């Protein structure tokens, strides 16, 4: 089962996304704080992360940069009500996706079926995390 991290400072948004993704067969961890998100990324092996750009405690861009540093190959979905279009190839207003490999955009609000399809497409092109393949992470080897 692929494990997804959801980061949004609105508890209701976390709950809805968690419900939708669990229904699709994913394991989901939600956090409402950027610092907790970074800690989770350092300690857990996620298949993907959905990160809101407008967090209350810190800039979502900083969480995205930390996520990329911690998990270079993990797909990251930046969420915002300010992003005009969802997808992989559409332009984003920050220009981040041109500089950050594996970064996708998800405009809020979105339809449940669109989120499910979006995650299937992103994860179809992603290798299974080491922990899910029964292998140790290189950072943990002794």
140 within some domain: no
Report pTM: 0.78
Determine if residue 87 is left, alpha or beta; phi over 0 gives left, psi from -120 to 50 gives alpha, anything else beta.
left
10 within some domain: yes
- Total domains in the fold of the chain: 1
Residue ranges, the chain, pLDDT below 50: 84-85, 88-93, 97-98, 128-142
C-alpha separations of 32 from 13, 58, 124, 130 in Å:
10, 11, 27, 26
pLDDT digits (tens, 9 = 90+) for 33-69: 999 999 999 999 999 999 999 899 899 989 999 999 9
Structural domain boundaries, residue 48: 3-133
142 within some domain: no
141 within some domain: no
Q: What is the pLDDT of residue 97?
A: 46
CATH of residue 56: 3.40.50.2300
Q: What is the pLDDT of residue 16?
A: 96
51 within some domain: yes
Q: For residues 82 and 53, is the Cβ–Cβ distance under 8 A?
A: yes
């Amino acid at each position: 089962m692929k494990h997804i991290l959801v980061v949004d400072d609105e508890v209701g948004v976390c709950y809805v996304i968690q419900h939708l993704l669990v229904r699709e067969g994913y394991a989901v961890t939600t956090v409402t704080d950027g610092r907790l998100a970074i800690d989770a990324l350092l300690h857990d092996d996620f298949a993907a992360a959905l990160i809101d750009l407008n967090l209350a405690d810190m800039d979502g861009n900083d969480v995205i940069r930390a996520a990329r540093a911690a998990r270079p190959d993990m797909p990251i979905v930046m969420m915002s009500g300010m992003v005009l279009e969802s997808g992989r190839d559409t332009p984003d207003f920050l220009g981040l996706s041109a500089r950050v490999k594996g970064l996708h955009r998800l405009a809020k609000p979105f339809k449940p079926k669109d989120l499910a399809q979006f995650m299937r497409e992103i994860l179809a092109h992603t290798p299974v995390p080491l922990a899910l393949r029964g292998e140790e992470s290189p950072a943990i080897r002794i």
